[in-house]
Amino acid sequence: MSAYVVSNETINKILAFINADCTRNQHIYRPLEIMNLVWTGKDAGERWGAMMLDLNIDAVCARYSDEKADVLKEGREFEHNGVLPPSRIQAFKSLKCWLYQCSEGDVPETDLFKAFYEVSGNMAKHIVTRMPECDAAEWG
């Protein structure tokens, strides 16, 4: 598997959706809340994005070598740009991309990775249970 550092745009899509959806569907984001990651204050997007970027860089460094860490971190800062929230499907796919790129070394054992992984599962359940095919399927 190859690993890369996702773009700020990918992280911003995830964050924009979470910010827009977290009050309506709190149950989806409970794993983040348990970690005391609550979307509060004007700098929430910057803080969350920086943590996500750092975790992604840690995974890429684990995949290739720690020597790349300085090169990857140099000049790489997260910029929260307040993009419009994408669709739920796009947010889910962007989150899955980020998780995949963070699947190296010990990164999957971190609390942040585990929380976002659980959120992705919650998002998937939310998407599926709202599909017409799910409504039409027999119960039991």
- The DSSP code sequence of 54-103 is HHHHHHHHHHH-TTHHHHHHTT-------PPP--HHHHHHHHHHHHHHT-
Residue 66: per-residue pLDDT: 65
In one-letter notation, the amino acid at residue 57 is I
Q: What are the domain boundaries of the chain?
A: 8-136
Give the global pTM: 0.91
Residue 82: per-residue pLDDT: 78
Spatial distance between the Cα atoms of 16 and 91, rounded to a whole number of angstroms: 9
pLDDT tens, N- to C-terminus, the chain (140 residues): 678 999 999 999 999 999 999 989 999 999 999 988 887 778 888 999 999 999 999 999 898 876 666 667 776 788 888 789 999 999 999 999 999 999 999 999 999 999 999 999 999 999 999 999 999 999 98
What token pair was written down for 122? Answer: 């919650």
